[in-house]
Structure 1
Amino acid sequence: MNSIFILGGKGRELMTIEEIRLNHLPDTKISMANTFNIDVNAFILAFSRPNRLVPQIEPGFQFDKQTTLCILAGLLYNKRVLVIGQHGEERVAHIEQVCNRLNWGCIRINMDSCLTRFDLIGRESIVIQQGRSIVKFKYGLLPWVLRRPIVLVLDNYNACKPETKFIFNKLLEANRKIIITENGRIIRPNACFRILATSNTLSGSQVGTFQENSTQLDRWNFVVRVPKLSFNQELVNQIPNKAMRKSIAKGIVELARLSRHLKKRNKLNLLFPVKTPLTWSKLSITLIAIGEAFKYAYLNKCERFGRVLINKKYIEVFKSKHSTKCC
């Protein structure tokens, strides 16, 4: 077996595939209502013990009912799920947090345009054995993942080149398997192997993305769009410092709403994503300065005309003229 290094789930440390031991079948049931806080009176299979590929938990994560049910259906009934949403709308996090609650191992691949068949399937290489040079096939990540009870997440699926995506065609069909033409081997997936993907557009309209092939897109059983998250008190409750929550929570939410309104009117070039309030609040604790933290977390990322406008809104919301001028 090859020594492919992958990123661990809980400790986020590097490990080789020989170091990972996984349970092969779910052995317990959990309540969907209690686990995901959604009004569905049902139980779902899960693993009783976590492994090193289970993603880290986000304690305050808010599960969207429709998205969660589609992901759970994909895991329970072995269906292919494509999650669509804009930057900051928790596409991958939604999948990872479902996997965390189920103790289901999860590996995420960034589907950038440089990804090739050799990276996924493997390639023939010259190795030295007993002092002699021989040609040996070295497997990529996909054959290893297929044999194990792992959720494979193809992140930014629309950023992958169309010719590379054809590798997944057989995996997205009911009779799933891959054929390695170099050595003639047929690899069939583990009974608990699952494949999901995320995308921020299907049209290829964003820089660095490709338009989806209609026949390839048809292979996904569930295509769910993540709803836009609001900057409500539940989101701000994830701020770790209680004193900071009381002092700036209301202002953060108000400024976030104003920035989104300005973005809709094309007066700002940069969306205020839902992760920005958390980044902003944590920097405020580190720097002991709300204005300075806002500058580094969001303001400096805006174009010049937008920086002036959003800076004025900051002063209005926080009733402060403290320095928030950009670097």
Structure 2
Amino acid sequence: MINNKLKLNHLPDIKISVANVFNINLNAYIPAFSKPNELVPQTRPGFQFDRQTTLCILAGLVYNKRVLIVGRHGTGKSTHIEQVCNRLNWGCIRINMDSYLTRLELIGKESITFQQGKPVIKFKYGLLPWALKRPIVLVLDDYDACKPETKFVFNKLLEANGEITIPENGRIIKPNASFRILATSNTLSGSQIGTFRENSAHLDRWNIVVNAPKLSFNQELNLVNQITGKALHGNIPTKIVELARLLRRLQSKGKLSLTFSIRSLLSWAELTIILNSIGEAFKYAYLNKCKKSDRSLIHEKYTEVFGSSCSIRCT
């Protein structure tokens, strides 16, 4: 339940160094909020800020640009936005843009309430009017999963001086000076199950479209080490990343049906500690999600990397 009585600072009141906060070689200072509030995302220690994606997100926040991040699932698109907001103490709300989301849920609808025992019809505002009035970042997750006709609601909002009009009561709602809107999408072509092709006129309203980065071997290894610490001995973390990238390459060549996402990699690393078994963790984090016809090849590659079947212990 969202607290309608949140006390939020409406304008950034300090400036922070891009180089110091995001470890990006850039001599620039950007506005931020000095104090966090309950809408600021939690800190993820050791998060690695990709230069291109981070600068695009910062451009969206500082210059009020509409930013759409496109990339495969599990690559950390939404997390990247959250962690930028975290470092700036900027409140952030995420909503899932599934195909069942309607205009009424976004804008609002008339509903019957009782006043002094008598039924009265009142307009109940949806999420967009609520968010627009506040100094927060609204993140539209899985934007390509929302029906195109529903997304037309955002057309005017995505323009330079964005606002929304409520036809039911004739009100025009202008955004807070620190309101921002960003989105994430797995695809623009609607090529995945449950997604829709983007309308070109609507897509044109997004000022910045950036492709989510592909992490290097060392970056993935650092993520695994952050989760496992010193719990795994020798070169086991290296082998975990090696197998994940090998299976990812096989999927890109059409030999496997399911890619090995960064989300699956982190789940595997975490489950390895919880279950004290690399093989068991691998089964639950990835193998059991795959088609039965793929599992023989996956077992083969697992054995090539680890030298045994999926039953190796981590100590």
TM range (shorter): over 0.9
Per-residue CA deviations over 1:201-236 (Å, capped at 9, x if unaligned) read 111111111111111111111111112223422222
CA shift, 1:160, in A, is 0.8
In 2, the alpha carbon distance for the partners of 1:155 and 1:21 equals: 25
- Report the equivalent of 1:146: 132
Per-residue CA deviations over 1:226-260 (Å, capped at 9, x if unaligned) read 12223422222222431226452011011112112
- Report the equivalent of 2:197: 211
Check whether the contact 1:231–1:253 (CA below 8 A) recurs between aligned residues. yes
- Report the equivalent of 2:82: 96
Q: Aligned in 2, Cα 1:266/1:130: closer, same or farther, shift over 3 Å?
A: same
CA shift, 1:323, in A, is 3.5
Secondary structure at the aligned position of 1:293 is classed as: helix
Which segments of structure 1 move beyond 3 Å, counting only runs of 4 or more?
321-324
- Report the equivalent of 1:236: 224
Secondary structure at the aligned position of 2:227 is classed as: coil
Alignment of 1:191-230 (within 5 A): 191-230=177-216
Per the normalisation by structure 1, the TM-score is 0.91
Secondary structure at the aligned position of 2:231 is classed as: helix
Residue 283 of structure 1 aligns with an amino acid whose one-letter code is L
2:239 to 251, 255, 267: 251
Structure 1 spans left out of the alignment, 5+ residues = 7-15
Identity %: 68
Secondary structure at the aligned position of 1:198 is classed as: strand
The answer on 1:17 being equivalent to 2:19 is: no
Residue 266 of structure 1 aligns with an amino acid whose one-letter code is G
The answer on 1:106 being equivalent to 2:89 is: no
- Report the equivalent of 2:248: 260
Number of residue pairs aligned between Structure 1 and Structure 2: 310
CA shift, 1:51, in A, is 0.6
The answer on 1:269 being equivalent to 2:250 is: no
Secondary structure at the aligned position of 1:170 is classed as: coil
Residue 41 of structure 2 aligns with an amino acid whose one-letter code is P
What RMSD over aligned residues (CA atoms) do the two structures have, in Å?
Answer: 1.4
- Report the equivalent of 1:289: 277
Per the normalisation by structure 2, the TM-score is 0.95
In 1, the alpha carbon distance for the partners of 2:15 and 2:234 equals: 39
Structure 2 spans left out of the alignment, 5+ residues = none
Residue 269 of structure 1 aligns with an amino acid whose one-letter code is S
Q: Which moved more, 1:274-283 or 1:206-215?
A: 274-283
Check whether the contact 2:94–2:141 (CA below 8 A) recurs between aligned residues. yes
In 1, the alpha carbon distance for the partners of 2:217 and 2:123 equals: 51
